[in-house]
Amino acid sequence: MPELFIGAAGSGAQVHRHDAAINALVYGVKHWYMFPPTQRKFAPDAFGMPVDEWVEQILPQLRQGGIAPIEFIQSAGEVVFVPHDWAHVIVNLADVVGVSAQLKMDIPLVADLMKVSVSEERPNGVVPGLEALLV
Beta bridge partners, 25, equal 98
Any residues with CB less than 8 A from the CB of 8 and at least 6 apart, and which?
A: 92, 95
Domain that holds residue 90: 3-132
The predicted pLDDT at position 105 comes to 60
The predicted pLDDT at position 62 comes to 87
**Lowest-pLDDT range of 1-5, 72-76, 101-105, 130-134:** 130-134
pLDDT per position as a tens digit, 11-64: 999 888 888 999 999 999 999 999 988 887 766 567 777 889 889 988 998 889
The predicted pLDDT at position 27 comes to 97
* Mean pLDDT of all residues belonging to the chain: 79
The predicted pLDDT at position 44 comes to 58
Contact predicate 14/49, CB 8 Å: yes
| Structural domains counted in the chain | 1
pLDDT per position as a tens digit, 70-115: 999 999 999 999 998 898 999 999 999 999 998 876 454 444 444 4
φ and ψ of 54, to 5 deg? -60, -45
Q: Is the pLDDT of residue 130 over 80?
A: no
Beta bridge partners, 31, equal 73, 91
**Which CATH number fits the domain that encloses residue 59?**
2.60.120.650
Q: Model confidence at 132, in pLDDT bands (50, 70, 90)? A: very low
